[in-house]
Amino acid sequence: MNRVIPLGVLALAILAFATLLLVILPGIQIRTEPPTPGLEAYTAAELRGRDIYVSQGCVYCHSQQPRSLDQAPDAERGWGRASVASDYFYDQPHQLGTMRTGPDLQNVGARLPSRDWHLTHLYQPRAVFDWSIMPAYPYLFEIKDEAGKGDVVVAMPQGYAPAGKVVVARSQALDLVAYLKSLDRTFPAPRAGLRDDGYSERGEPR
């Protein structure tokens, strides 16, 4: 019983030290980091789309942190250069993610800039890739007999389009696609993001 208090104090001390080392000090270190040159603040539509991205739990299957070549072949996969802290200047909270059931999305706006492609893919991923395990999001869309003025009609291949009707994107789908298209960090990383081990953030020799 006499050992409980010292052990509790030791456990709290270790937790406090870990928090200081892994959370507080890195936060102080990057607090004054300016955004990566070329990075722009999200528009109102992109912010709404980001909220939808968060609410749908996209982070559970998609990361937003391409890694250097010494960690993973992300650049060879076409996912772009390794990310740096200043790439997330406007992200509160960030969506780094730890799972890659689907591809990394940090530069999906550069890889797939087509709004129509994203809308079709969100409504029914199997209409784009028959092997996809991504869930469909039909509730972000509306089925109508015919499109109205200003409606954005989703192009659907034969076999997936509702017979005699059209699929129309709701505002939530359009905002989500606006956010996905904004994910483009293909501009060069700042020199402050270069590492000290003789390699660039892409994992290539300098």
As a whole number of angstroms, the distance between CA 79 and CA 87 comes to: 14
What pTM did the predictor assign?
Answer: 0.82
pLDDT 10s digits, 50-62: 999 999 999 999 9
User: What average pLDDT does the chain have?
Assistant: 89
Tell me the average pLDDT across 30-36: 81
Strand partners, 167: 143
Give the pLDDT score at 134.
97
| 10-24, 93-107, 164-178: least confidently modelled range | 10-24
Q: Which of 182, 199, 46 is nearest to 106 (CA)?
A: 182
